[in-house]
Amino acid sequence: MPVKNRFAELLPEITEWRRDLHENPEILFETHRTSALVEEKLKAFGCDEVVTGIGRTGVVGVIRGKTNTSGKVIGLRADMDALPIHEETGLDYASKTPGAMHACGHDGHTAMLLGAAKYLAETRNFDGTAIVIFQPAEEGGGGGREMCEDGMMETFGIQEVYGMHNWPGVPLGQFAIRPGAFFAATDQFEIKVVGRGGHGAKPHQTVDPVVASAHMVSALQSIASRSADPVDEIVVSVTSIESSSKAFNVIPAAVTLRGTIRTMTKAARALAETRLKAIANGAAATFDAEAQIKWLPGYPAMVNSEEQTAFAASVAEKVAGSCEANAPITMGGEDFAYMLEERPGAYILVGNGDSADVHNPNYNFNDEAIPAGCSWWAGIIEERMPAA
């Protein structure tokens, strides 16, 4: 099952959809235009049902095969939202919305799943039901969680679920996947170090939160280097240090640290939270300051199911001729994790070639990846639920 000829025929049309989406990016749950376009096309394709408003602005389409003796129901998910980034590509179809850009390729994901939906609705050469899921707010909003909380899996009887993301650096149209934990949990923290401000020439009359926070930044690195098992993947990054003072001779009353911790297991995640709180409180107390800590839980680790991953890799190998079946772990986050907590499934990467990285103002989804991505999604349905 190589790339399907039908997707080569549909490439100009799908590319047109993708570039329209790129030109009109929408952020988080505000995917009103995008969701309406998806709804319109799914209805035009002849989907058996099209349901909107799941997870606020999510859209779900139902496509029934020629037969349903298997009773299987498989979900395919694409994300729709853009990022709050100002585009710098200079493309003819660059974003028309200042401060918003499809810098992660969700325009490509949506277009590819629409292409697969059109093909599946035309052919229906499978025994079961395909559910196409278009999700808002992947970029930090937890749209996947909200769709699950709205009862999507139960409403449509989804038994397995599959997702895909384009990946710069992977050869164009090739695939990469791994079983087990693939993307990291993405927790955040904010620590306000409260002291007593004063004149920079009289530090003995102050409780200096700058000194306390400097020690805290160094001490937090011991979570990875001394608290966690060396074989566990864990990243601790303090990404912001702010105080209210801009003067050279003023010791501020407070300093705020912000950052992120990335982990791959529930145990490491719990350990990181416990140690961060202990270290922050201890470091602050050492200098007579106070630590006011906010732990902000993010997405859980995204864990691919063993059986479904092997199946997804086999489909990818048939489409592309090969598949990297033990891809490197990424410490980035992905809220498809919520769907994989609800149902077994797998998440795969499709190569975007030698492009700018995602979340970069010069990134652009490579339209030449569309036939491979569409073929993989269609193959998941046709091979997992072969026609009776």
The three-state (H, E, C) secondary structure of 123-173, written as one string: HCCEECEEEEEEECCCCCCCHHHHHHHCCHHHHHCCCEEEEEEEECCCCCC
What pLDDT score was predicted for residue 175? 98
CA distance 245 to 256: 12
Q: Locate tokens 């810098």: which residue?
A: 103
pLDDT digits (tens, 9 = 90+) for 274-291: 999 999 999 999 999 999
Pairing of strands 234-243, 254-263: antiparallel
- For residue 3, what pLDDT band results from cuts at 50, 70 and 90? confident
Tally of CB atoms within 10 A around 283: 23
Whether the per-residue pLDDT at 154 is higher than 70: the answer is: yes
Q: Which residues contact 245 (CB under 8 A, 6 or more apart)?
A: 197, 251, 252
pLDDT by residue (tens digit) across 291-336? 999 999 999 999 999 999 999 999 999 999 999 999 999 999 999 9
Q: What is the pLDDT of residue 383?
A: 97
Does 1 have pLDDT greater than 80?
no
Res 4: pLDDT: 87
* Domains, the chain, with CATH or none: 5-181+302-384 (3.40.630.10), 185-296 (3.30.70.360)
One-character DSSP codes across 218-269: HHHTHIIIIIS-TTS-EEEEEEEEEES---TTEE-SEEEEEEEEEESSHHHH
pLDDT value for 316 = 98
Q: What percent of the chain has pLDDT over 70?
A: 100
139: phi then psi, degrees, rounded to nearest 5: -80, 70
Model confidence over 54-69: pLDDT tens digits?
999 999 999 999 999 9
Query: Per-residue confidence at 2, pLDDT binned at 50, 70, 90?
Result: confident
190-201 confidence digits (pLDDT tens):
999 999 999 999
Kindly state the average pLDDT of the residues 89-102.
Answer: 97
Structural element, H or E, at residue 199:
strand 198-199
